[in-house]
A and B are shown apart, each in its own frame.
Chain A
Amino acid sequence: MFSVIVNKISMMIGGEAGAGITRSGFLFAKACLRGGLHVFGTNDYQSLIRGGHNFYIARADSEEIYSQADTIDLLLALNKETILLHKDELVQNGGIVYDEEESTLTEGELGRKDLKLFTVPLTATVKELGGTPIMRNTVALGATTALLTYDLDILNEVMRDTFKPKVAEINVKAAKKGYDYAREKYASEFDYRLERTTPNGKRKIFLTGSEAVGLGCIRAGCKFYAGYPMTPATPVHHFLAQLDREYGMIVMQAESEIAAINMTAGASFAGVRAMTATSGGGFCLMSEGLGMTGMTETPIVVMVAQRHGPSTGLPTYSCQADLRFTIHASQGEFPRIVIAPGDVEECFYKTMDAFNLAEKFQIPAILLTDKYLAESHGAPEFFDQDRIGINRGRLMTNDEYADEEEYKRHKLTEDGVSPRAVPGMKGAIVRTNADEHNESGYTTEDSELTTRMADKRFKKLDTLVRNLESYETTKLYGSDEAEVTIIGWGSTKGPIREAMKLLGKERQNVNYLQIMYLNPFPAAKVRRILKSTTKTIVVENNKTSQLSSLIREHLLTAVDHKILKYDGRPFNPGELSRRIMEVL
C-alpha cells in the first residue's frame, strides 16, 4: 500500500487496568474532535482494579461515524499482552506503538510481517521527567501525534483543559518528548495522517451516555438522587455527586438499591424531581419499590444500565437482556414508561422526557441504557437546552390549598391523573398508600373501589398513549420505501447505522427503524412503518430476541430474521453488515 489515508483512523490503546487507558483514549479522541473530525470512543475493561487487560478504541473520521470499527489502524500497546491479544485486529500495514524494553517481540510471536513497529522509550522518558508510570500513555500519545503528523498543540490544549495545571504541564512535557522522538525516528513512515479541518460550524461536545443522562437530570430540575454503586450505572452517580453543591441537589449513596428507590420515592412524594440508577441486579432489588411508586402514583425516574447476565454475568460488559424485565418488573399491574435512548444525544433529551412524563402521569419512568451506551463517548451537537421544557403536570405549587373540598391525593378524574399536592402545603393532608386505597389514600378492601382505582391508574395509561402520539417514539433512517427494515432499540443504533454504510448497493433497499419508547409500545406507528416492508430483521444484544416478542405481542406478526449477539460485546459494523447481507 502506498497511498496515504487522511482523517480516517481507528486507534486502540490497551494495557493493564489502572494504567489510565480510558483517559488516554479520551484525550486522543477529543484532540481529534477539536481538529474538526467526527469521533467515537468506547472502552472495554474487566471486573478488576489492577492488572488484567483494558482497552479503549478511539475512532476519528472526516465523515459522520456512529460506532467503533471492526479493525484497528494503530495500536498503542502499554504492555506486551495488548500486542498479542490485538495484533490480528490490525489492518494491513497497521502500526504498533510500544516500548521495546518492556515488550520484547519475536517475529514468531507477532506472526505477521506487514505491521509497522514504532518503538518509543515510554518508561525511560517518564523516568527522565520524574513522572509517574501512568504518564507512559502521554508519551505514547505524543508519539502517535507525530506519526499521524497531527498538531501537538491541540493535544496540549485538551490536556490543559482536562488536568489540573501542574499535572497538565508535566504531561505536556511528556507528550513533547514522545512527539519529538517519533518525528525524528519515524518521519512519514506511517500511512495514516490526521489534519485539522474546518468543522461545519456546529459546536460539538464529547461525553458519555452516562454524562448525558446526568446533564439531562440536572437540566430537568432533578434535586434528589440516591443510588448504590453498580457497574455500569455508577458513572451517573459520580457525575451528579461532583455537581450537587453547585446545583442545589442532594446526591446520596444509599445502603442498598432497595433503600435507594425508597428514598427516591420519598423525595418525590415530598415534591422534588428524584431519580435513581442501577443495573439489572440492583433493579431486581428495586422491583418492589417500583411497584410501590406505581401504586402510590409517585413519579420517579430509574435509569437501568444493562449489563450481561443472568445474575452477576459479565459485570463490566454490555447486554440488552433486561427489556422484558423492566417492562414487567414488580407484582401486580400498573402503568409505567420504558424509554431506550440509542445514542449519547438521546440520553440527554430522553432523560428530560422521562422526568416530564413521570410527573405528568404520576408513574415511574425507566430509562433503559446499557454498558456500551453508558460508557462510550460520542460527540453530539451542543445540546439544545430549551428543546424540551419542564412540565410537572398537575403538581400544585401553591403554598396553600384553598379548595373547599378536602384534598384527595388519589382523586378520581376523567383522565386518571389526580391533582398532586405535596406534604407541607397548608390546608392539604396528603396521604398515599401501597395498600389499595380510596381517593383520600386510606386503605380499602372494597371490591368496587378496588376495581375503580385500578381503572383510574390505567386511565392514565390511555392518556399517556394518546399523549405519546406527538412524541418521537420511533425514528426511521433510510428510505421509507425500502423493502427491508432493520429493527432495533437502544445502543445497537450506532453499529446498525455503521453497518448500513457497508451494505453497498443493497443500501438503497434497506432502512432502519429505531424504537425508542418500548412501553407503552408504539404499536400504531410501528405497524404503519412496517406496512411497506417485505422483510424485517431484528438486531439485538440478547439471546431470545425480546424485541421480536414485543412486536409479535403488539402487532401479531413474526419478524423474518433475528440477528443476535450476547457475548457482552457490542456488534462491530462489518460483522453486522455481513450478517445482514446473509439474510437479505
Chain B
Amino acid sequence: MVTLEDLKTPKKNTWCPGCGNFGILMAFKKALIQLGLERDQVVLVSGIGCHGKMVNYVNVNGFHGIHGRTLPLATGIKLANPNLTVVCFAGDADCYDEGWGHFSHAIRRNIDITLIVHNNMVLGLTTGQTTATSQKGFRTKSTPFGSIPPALNPIAHALVSNGTFVGRGYSGDMMSLTGLMAEAIKHRGFAFLDVFQPCVTFNYLNTYDWFKERVYKLEEEGHDYTDRQKAIKKSFQWKDHIPVGVFYKEERSTYLDGLPHVKNQALTKIPMEKVAITSLLESMI
C-alpha cells in the first residue's frame, strides 16, 4: 500500500507560503492512498502554470506537458492504456483560456480520466494577469482598469456539455476535497473537478476569507446530484452563496465503450510485429 512517504519527491516546493495549491497536493496524495492505487499505475498530467509543478511533487508517473493541452495528452495516454489511472491537473488559464476548446470535447467524449482544475481566477506564474474565471472588474497588470467581460462558468458549461461527473472543491477544506477527488477518480467516465484555490500573491479579491464567507456544501442542502436541471440551477449560484461538492453524476458509456475492438484492452498489449497486410495488398491488385 502506498504511503505519504512513498509519494514524496526530492523536489523542493516553490509555491508561495499559504498557496491554495498545497491543499490540492495533499488531498490528491491522500485520495491515492484512500483508493489504494499503486504509484506505477497512476499517471499525473499537468500543464503550464503554478499547478504544473504537481508533476514535481507527487512521485507517480508524470507528463508535464505544454500550456492548455493536458486533456488531449491525457486522452492519448488513457486510450493507449486504459489500465492506467490518468489524472489531469490544469490551471484556470491553462484549461479555461488556452485549453478551453479541449475542455468541451473531453467532456463530450467521456473518456475515463479525471480533470482537476486549480482555479485561482488569476494567472500566477506570469505574475498576475486576468483569466477566464477572473471576476468582472478584476484589476491586474494586464487589466489595470478592470477585467471587462464577466467570468466564464465552467461548472455550468460542463453540465450543459453532458458531463457525467461535475464537481467543485475548495482547497481550504482539504478533508472534503480528498473525498471529492477520490470520488472523481473512481468515477467511470470523464470526471471534472473545479477547485477553488486562493492565490495569496496575485488575487487580492478571491481570498481565503472571501471563500470562507461564501462557500457551502451541496450535500448539506440535500442536493440531488442525479438531476441535471437542478445542478445547472445550482451552478449559477455565485456572489454570497457558492456551492461546492458534486453537482451532477451519472454512469454513461465511455468513448472506449464505443470501440468494441479495443474495449479496455491496452493497445500496448496488441501484437504490433508482423501485422498481416497481405489481404489488403491483394485487394489493390
Question: Are A and B interaction partners?
Answer: yes
Instruction: Tell me the A residues contacting B by CB distance below 8 Å.
Output: 34, 161, 203-207, 211, 215, 218-219, 221-224, 226, 243-245, 247-250, 252, 254-256, 258-260, 262-274, 288-289, 292, 296, 382-383, 385, 390, 422-435, 437, 441-443
Mark B98-131 against chain A: 1 for CB-CB distance below 8 A, else 0. Answer: 0001101100000000000000000000000000
Q: Could you jot down 21 A-B contacts, CB within 8 Å? A: A203-B285, A205-B281, A218-B275, A218-B277, A219-B275, A224-B76, A243-B280, A255-B104, A262-B69, A262-B72, A269-B77, A270-B267, A274-B80, A423-B41, A424-B84, A433-B55, A433-B63, A435-B64, A441-B55, A441-B62, A441-B64
Known: A259-B72, A296-B63. A427 touches B40 (CB 8 A): yes
Residues of the A chain whose Cβ atoms lie less than 8 Å from the Cβ of B11:
442-443
Select one of B76, B278, B283, B284 contacting A267, CB under 8 A.
B76
Of A222, A223, A270, chain B has the most CB atoms within 10 Å of the CB of A270
B271 → A minimal CB distance (Å):
8
B145 → A minimal CB distance (Å):
31
Known: A248-B261, A269-B63. A429 touches B39 (CB 8 A): yes
Q: Is the CB of A267 within 8 A of B69?
A: no
Please report which residues of chain B, range 45-81, place their CB below 8 angstroms from some CB of chain A when the two chains form the complex: 45, 48, 52-53, 55-56, 59-66, 69, 71-81
Q: Is the CB of A270 within 8 A of B277?
A: no
Of B41, B275, B285, chain A has the most CB atoms within 10 Å of the CB of B275
Please report which residues of chain B, range 5-49, place their CB below 8 angstroms from some CB of chain A when the two chains form the complex: 9-11, 38-41, 43, 45, 48
Alpha-carbon gap, A264 to B117, bound state (A): 23
B125 → A minimal CB distance (Å):
11
B47 → A minimal CB distance (Å):
9
Alpha-carbon gap, A215 to B69, bound state (A): 30
Q: Is the CB of A215 within 8 A of B268?
A: no
Q: Is the CB of A424 within 8 A of B64?
A: no
Of B61, B66, B285, chain A has the most CB atoms within 10 Å of the CB of B61
Closest-by-CB residue of B relative to A161 is B283
B270 CB-CB contact with A under 8 Å: yes
Residues of the A chain whose Cβ atoms lie less than 8 Å from the Cβ of B278:
385
Q: Is the CB of B65 within 8 A of A262?
A: yes
Residues of the B chain whose Cβ atoms lie less than 8 Å from the Cβ of A265:
65, 73, 76
Q: Is the CB of B284 within 8 A of A211?
A: yes
Q: Is the CB of A221 within 8 A of B272?
A: yes
A153 → B minimal CB distance (Å):
16
Select one of B53, B259, B280, B285 contacting A250, CB under 8 A.
B259
Select one of B62, B64, B73 contacting A262, CB under 8 A.
B73
Alpha-carbon gap, A437 to B80, bound state (A): 25
Q: Nearest 6 CB-CB pairs, A to B? A: A266-B76, A221-B272, A270-B80, A262-B72, A263-B76, A423-B61
Alpha-carbon gap, A356 to B84, bound state (A): 26
Q: Is the CB of B284 within 8 A of A269?
A: no
Residues of the A chain whose Cβ atoms lie less than 8 Å from the Cβ of B175:
none
Question: Main secondary structure on chain A at its contact with chain B?
Answer: mixed
Known: A205-B284, A221-B275, A425-B40. A250 touches B267 (CB 8 A): yes
Known: A443-B11, A443-B64. A428 touches B268 (CB 8 A): no
Across chains A and B, the number of contacting residue pairs, with CB separation under 8 Å, is 205
Alpha-carbon gap, A249 to B285, bound state (A): 25
Residues of the A chain whose Cβ atoms lie less than 8 Å from the Cβ of B9:
442
Q: Is the CB of B267 within 8 A of A223?
A: yes
B266 CB-CB contact with A under 8 Å: yes
Known: A215-B277, A443-B11. A426 touches B76 (CB 8 A): no
Residues of the B chain whose Cβ atoms lie less than 8 Å from the Cβ of A34:
285
B201 CB-CB contact with A under 8 Å: no
Residues of the A chain whose Cβ atoms lie less than 8 Å from the Cβ of B4:
none
Q: Is the CB of B101 within 8 A of A434?
A: no
Alpha-carbon gap, A205 to B262, bound state (A): 30
B273 CB-CB contact with A under 8 Å: yes
Q: Is the CB of B40 within 8 A of A424?
A: yes
Alpha-carbon gap, A289 to B70, bound state (A): 11
Q: Is the CB of A270 within 8 A of B272?
A: no
Residues of the A chain whose Cβ atoms lie less than 8 Å from the Cβ of B53:
443
Known: A255-B105, A266-B63. A272 touches B272 (CB 8 A): yes
B133 → A minimal CB distance (Å):
21
Residues of the A chain whose Cβ atoms lie less than 8 Å from the Cβ of B280:
215, 218, 243
Alpha-carbon gap, A423 to B278, bound state (A): 33
Closest-by-CB residue of B relative to A264 is B76
Residues of the A chain whose Cβ atoms lie less than 8 Å from the Cβ of B63:
266, 269, 296, 431-433
B226 CB-CB contact with A under 8 Å: no
Alpha-carbon gap, A218 to B280, bound state (A): 11
Band of interface residues on B: 35 or more
B161 CB-CB contact with A under 8 Å: no
A509 → B minimal CB distance (Å):
38
B83 CB-CB contact with A under 8 Å: yes
Alpha-carbon gap, A383 to B282, bound state (A): 10
Of A249, A264, A272, A288, chain B has the most CB atoms within 10 Å of the CB of A272
Known: A248-B270, A262-B65. A429 touches B40 (CB 8 A): yes
Closest-by-CB residue of B relative to A423 is B61
Q: Is the CB of B277 within 8 A of A434?
A: no
Known: A288-B66, A443-B11. A271 touches B40 (CB 8 A): no
Alpha-carbon gap, A390 to B273, bound state (A): 7
Residues of the B chain whose Cβ atoms lie less than 8 Å from the Cβ of A223:
80, 267-268, 270, 272
Residues of the B chain whose Cβ atoms lie less than 8 Å from the Cβ of A426:
38, 40
Known: A255-B101, A289-B66, A424-B84. A250 touches B275 (CB 8 A): no
Mark B227-248 against chain A: 1 for CB-CB distance below 8 A, else 0. Answer: 0000000000000000000000
Closest-by-CB residue of A relative to B102 is A259
Please report which residues of chain B, range 167-197, place their CB below 8 angstroms from some CB of chain A when the two chains form the complex: none
Select one of A215, A427, A442 contacting B281, CB under 8 A.
A215
Residues of the A chain whose Cβ atoms lie less than 8 Å from the Cβ of B101:
255-256, 259
Q: Is the CB of A205 within 8 A of B69?
A: no
Of A223, A382, A423, A431, chain B has the most CB atoms within 10 Å of the CB of A423
Q: Is the CB of B40 within 8 A of A434?
A: no
Known: A262-B76, A423-B61, A432-B63. A390 touches B272 (CB 8 A): yes
Closest-by-CB residue of A relative to B279 is A246
Select one of B52, B73, B78, B273 contacting A221, CB under 8 A.
B273
Q: A269-B76, A443-B56 are in contact. List 13 more A-B contacts (CB 8 A).
A: A206-B284, A223-B272, A243-B280, A254-B72, A258-B102, A259-B75, A262-B73, A266-B77, A288-B69, A383-B277, A424-B61, A442-B11, A443-B64
Residues of the A chain whose Cβ atoms lie less than 8 Å from the Cβ of B271:
221
B112 → A minimal CB distance (Å):
14
Closest-by-CB residue of A relative to B38 is A426
Residues of the B chain whose Cβ atoms lie less than 8 Å from the Cβ of A428:
40
B28 → A minimal CB distance (Å):
16
Known: A207-B284, A219-B275. A432 touches B77 (CB 8 A): no
Residues of the B chain whose Cβ atoms lie less than 8 Å from the Cβ of A289:
66, 69
Residues of the B chain whose Cβ atoms lie less than 8 Å from the Cβ of A273:
272
Q: Is the CB of B76 within 8 A of A258?
A: no
Known: A296-B63, A432-B64. A382 touches B273 (CB 8 A): no
Residues of the B chain whose Cβ atoms lie less than 8 Å from the Cβ of A429:
39-40, 59-62
Q: Is the CB of B76 within 8 A of A424?
A: no
A496 → B minimal CB distance (Å):
26
A402 → B minimal CB distance (Å):
13
Residues of the A chain whose Cβ atoms lie less than 8 Å from the Cβ of B272:
221-223, 272-273, 390
Select one of B40, B55, B75, B259 contacting A423, CB under 8 A.
B40
